[in-house]
Amino acid sequence: MRVVQNEQMAMGEVDVSKIKFDPKSRDDIPKILRGLQHLYMDPALRGSFFELLARQVAPRVSKSSGRPGMTLWTILVCCVIRLDLNIDYDRLHELVNHHNTIREMLGHGAFEDVSHHHQTLKDNVSLLTPELLDQINQLVVQAGNTASSRPDRALLTRSRSGKAATCAGA
């Protein structure tokens, strides 16, 4: 069963919109997570890319029966981290299981003992094909262009559409 994200928050879980980042950090992980947080907090955009992911990611998999898989949000977060950091699955495995802020972004509560297996990460993150990532990127760019036409919203300035990226690589 593939769900967009868990509807019931676990004890100790932080809502994505409430995750705090060190404003003085010069590392790239908080910057990536802030971008994901921004996308998450835009309900129209979030709905659009979740709809796209639900349609495209393993469409033959039953959405109502079978064993639970990774949520679409978790898959998206893992893929973005993998691509933006240009890392392999071994590093991704280490980060999603031991980096506190990434775990918050994935929706894991402080009291949950959730870990992601290496092969599960590989199998799920590789579902986001270059074509699907390009479609997601187009949604983000459109939202950025819409935001730039409104004075109360900041333009999303970083686009990766020119880069041939895939989450499927080793």
Sequential DSSP letters for 109-121? -TT------HHHH
Statement: residue 85 has pLDDT above 90:
yes
| Average pLDDT taken over every residue of the chain | 80
What does the block give as tokens for 79?
Answer: 């893929």
Distance CA 26, CA 3 (A): 34
What does the block give as tokens for 82?
Answer: 């993998």
Residue 43 or 57, more confident: 43
Q: What is the model's pLDDT at position 116?
A: 92
pTM above threshold 0.85 = no
103-142 pLDDT, tens digit each: 999 988 776 788 899 999 999 999 999 999 999 999 988 8
Residue 115's closest CA among 97, 94, 98? 97
DSSP secondary structure letter of residue 2 = -
Q: Are 74 and 26 in contact (CB under 8 A)?
A: no
Helix or strand (DSSP H, E) at 97: helix 89-98
Confidence band for 153, pLDDT divided at 50, 70 and 90:
very low
In the chain, the DSSP E strands lie at none
The domain segmentation of the chain, as residue ranges, is 16-148
What does the block give as tokens for 164?
Answer: 């041939």
